[in-house]
Amino acid sequence: MKLATVIFYGLSLGLLAVGLRELLTGFEENRCSMTYMFEYPEYRRVALPRRVARLYPAYGLYLYGEGLYAQETRSLKLTGAPVLFLPGNAGSYKQARSLGSVALRKAENMEGGLHFNVFTVDFNEELVALYGGSLLRQTHFLHESIKAILKLYKHLKAPPQSVVLVGHSMGGVVARALYTLPRFNTNLVSLIITQASPHLAPVLVLDPYLLDFYSTVRQKWVSQAKRLRNVTVLSVGGGYRDYQVRSGLTSLPCPPGDPNKLSLVATAVPRTWVSTDHLSIVWCKELVLASVRAFFDLIDPETRQFTDDPEKKMTVLNHHFIRHPVRMLEETQDTSISILDFPEAWSEVNTLRLAYTTPKEGQVKYFVFALSSRRKAYSHFYCRSNNMEMSSWVYGCVQRNGSSCVHAVDLSMETELLPPYKVLILSLSDLSSVSHLVVSASNLNGKQFTVECEWQRQESQTLSLPVPHVLSFGLTASEITVNSSGLLHTIVLQHFHQVYQAFRITVTSQCKVYKDRLSNVYRIKVPWFREDSLTTVSVPSVTEISGMLHTSRLDNTSGVLLQLHTAPNCQYKVSVRTSLPRVLGQILRFCGPMVPVYTAVTLLLACGGQLSSIRKSGRAAAMGQVVGKGLQPHKVNLPVFTLHILLSCSWFKEVWSFLYLPPVDALPPTFPDATFYEGEVPVEEWPRLMSPLLYLFGAAVAYWGSAILRLIIRLISLVLAALHRPSVSRDCGTLQLRPQLLITLSLAVFGGVSCGAMSLSVAFMLHLYRVLRLQMTERSLSHMLNLAPGKHKETENGKVDVETSAKSRECNGAPLLSECALQEVRDDLQLHLCLSAVLTLPVMLSAPSLIHWIRNLRYSAQLDPDPCWPHIVPLIIVYMLLINCNTLKLSNSKLLPLTSCLPLPLSIAMVMFSPLHLYRVTYFLLVTLVPLALCCLL
């Protein structure tokens, strides 16, 4: 049975390892270009008012500079447009150097001395994603910093009235939290750009302050939605390389139809098209350039500061982050264009497709396509060119003179950039006033490029392909063959709309003639969220594309689109197969916060199993045995499923509310339309269906984690054995009553005036010392009995039966050096090993607040606020009482039957109420540990 248990949990750990490997490494390589500083970066500290410096001694405000610019701004008499960078969780203020350096280099080429002043805030690299007690403090300091920045421009005739914020990670959440401050003037910030910021929900909730902060921010943006409509917010997610903050969480929770809020993934940003990890999104040159270009376009030429016009801001952001046409929309105020050249420059195209490569020498060339004969047979006109110059190239002819076009309308604004070329798709139904289409192939600079155009019938070039079921495990595949007679084909991947689905999409291309062709582009387009991904390949090729989603869709009204920008007269075979490793990776990406909950459930049930063993036989079972039996999904998940079904009934929901019971936890929604505004947010069912698998992962972590704990205890006990005299008593490592009371009182007082997590850690170390002494005693007794076979035999002749409860009680009077005494020590060791595994959980959950306190000791000796304070006193008392606990006291306790029954209902409650509130795990453990500690007294 033990071998079977090891094999079972070994396979479970293997599945977990496969999912973690896919989550951490199963993505494209880092294709971001590094940003470099051409001169040594300098960070000049900006003096703040004494009141602010005294309130926030750990924080600071700096101005970024390099070389000559740093010298010119030494006196802080600034003339540029202010931009403020906010670092995120454990982020450094020096991360602003990428944005500041690129902005500085770009400003050197601008006329009139137009430039930016890039400021950055030092938040002391606090772990605000894990400890939420500092978020409100950072928000207040940010407000003071903005006011201090604007004061630096008072000497100007037209000083700036607002600051643009760029927030990374939690810095973006802090930026939005500014609007929750009662005295904040909303006109001070009108544009916020966030990078990999978890707006929808926190990644992990290890204390209540983090969740309260998010709730306050959300409610403010809900209640003041109309007032904050002029505030422009752009949220950029990193993609699959960012395994710390999944891109679905970067979606802005905003009302439907708000035109000034944009959410997207970096892979969909034009001229970027790369996935970034959580840190590289700050220095990724492609993305930094997009932001800096947008900043320059946002400058009002009259005030030389950022524009306050919301429409102007959205136009610029759409141009650089959504769809990059040939030029800005407002640059083409007069769409009527006059084209009149030599007649020999015009060529009329009567074929269905045009493929033209310009000569090396410069020339003027126009191709004319008549619309009258094509309107009924075709629905769209498709054209692409690898001439990436941002200039007009497709026109609609309104008035003709012979073969030339005298008057034309520019149609190039619908152009879209792809990595190897620009593409324009025109719907013929929108061109009723146009008689001909004109494509410019002029290369006056002598640079060669290729133009390919064709008439298309959208219905014939759109195919449907049902994707395999997720439970096919990759054994079956859906395939379709495209005999390409055109330049664009669209494959609708039916039933592909959930984040737990993951596929290996293989596209194989073959051509009869391998001449010079433009590269193929395979694009996965998600209709409900801007998370597109593009792959550029040559022909022929065999290309594998990862088919995964950052967001779900509640209904299956439209599936994911696979667009193939192909070469003509080629054959393409598309195969879709479920990828089990990627499915596991997606499950961990979206449901990973539930794994620690199930780990705690397994250890809690193991503790209950240990207590039941002591109650029945008076002996403690092996720790590996009770942890192995902690996997009980039928006892935990079935009641949870039943409760969820009952909560779908209105009468049960009313009873639930009448009893003032808290709502049942659910993971953050994975669909971008979950705005948390009016009405109830639909709860997805698939995380609940995955709960048995997540329970398996949590049980594997508990099983192998407890095995590692036993190994560490043995190794440390070997080192400490040289420092202690051998002991043969089961009371080794215990505390007398007076020292126990003194230590408990001291730790409680210390936790109240400094840091509760520190007191908790000390109490845990004291209990761990008790376990180490038991381990050393067990080893000493074993060695002594091996060296004293006579006593061993005498014990056996004394008819000491270690298997029965009655005989075990007779061991109380046995000699210290006996098999019975060894068994007692082993029982106590197994009990305390099990307790140590459970007691480790509160210490680990409080670790972020402990780290924050240690890093801020030079500024304050007290952690304020302290998330451990509400339960630190009972926890310390429990830890100290359990030090003196043993199996004899437990077996004689009248509270043991009741205590042994508590872990199961508490485990069920933990699964119901803790996935979004991990800090509640400590409360549930405390409810179990308090009666257990009382068993040692009563």
Which residues are known catalytic residues? Answer: 169
Neighbouring residues of 497: CB distance < 8 A, sequence distance ≥ 6: 549, 552, 553, 555, 556, 558, 559, 560
Strands (E) in 136-272, as ranges, are 164-168, 191-195, 232-237, 261-265
The 3-state DSSP class for residue 716 equals helix
If 0-12 CB within 10 Å is exposed, 13-18 middle and 19+ buried, where does residue 596 land? buried
Find the helix or strand (DSSP H, E) in which 385 lies.
strand 380-385
Query: CA 461, 464, 468: angle at the middle one, nearest 5?
Result: 150
The radius of gyration of the chain's CA atoms, rounded to the nearest angstrom, is 34
Kind and range of the H or E element at 742? helix 737-753
Contact status, residue 628 vs residue 608, Cβ threshold 8 Å? no
Contact 887, 610 (CB under 8 A): no
Token code pair at residue 546 = 């990862």
Among residues 495, 493, 561, 502, the alpha carbon closest in space to that of 529 is found at 561
β-strands 60-66, 116-122: how paired? antiparallel
The span from the CA of 59 to the CA of 677, in Å, is: 34
Residue 74 sits at φ, ψ, to 5 deg, of: -65, -35
Report residue 66 as tokens.
């390099």
| Cβ(367)–Cβ(347) below 8 Å | yes
Question: Letter for the amino acid at 418?
Answer: L
> Given its phi and psi angles, is residue 693 left (phi above 0), alpha (psi -120 to 50 degrees) or beta?
alpha
Mapping DSSP to helix (H, G, I), strand (E, B) and coil, where does residue 39 land? coil
Buried/exposed code over 318-331 (b: 16+ C-beta within 10 A; e: otherwise):
bbbbbebbbbbeee
Residue type, 713: I
Q: How far apart are the first and last CA of the chain?
A: 36
Give me the phi and psi of 253, to 5 degrees please: -75, 95
Helix, strand, coil in percent for the chain, rounding step 5 = 45, 20, 35
The whole-angstrom separation of Cα 284 and Cα 281 is 5
Distances (CA, A) of 114 to 15, 50, 106, 884: 56, 33, 10, 73
Q: Report how far residue 79's alpha carbon sits from residue 634's, in angstroms, rounded to the nearest whole number.
A: 68
Task: Print burial letters for 43-72: b (CB count within 10 Å at least 16), e (below 16).
Answer: beebebeeebeeebebbbbbbbbbeebbee
Q: How far is CA 925 from CA 4, 433, 636, 893, in A?
A: 30, 73, 16, 20
Residue carrying the six token digits 């376990």: 771
- For the record, the structure tokens of 165 come out as 């914020």
Residue whose structure tokens are 């590996």 = 624
**Phi, then psi, of 761 in degrees rounded to 5:** -65, -40
> How many other CB atoms are there within 10 angstroms of residue 371's CB atom?
19
Which 3-state string (H, E, C) describes 401-461?
ECCEEEEEEECHHHCEECCCCEEEEEEHHHCCCCCEEEEECCCCCCCCCEEEEEEECCCCC
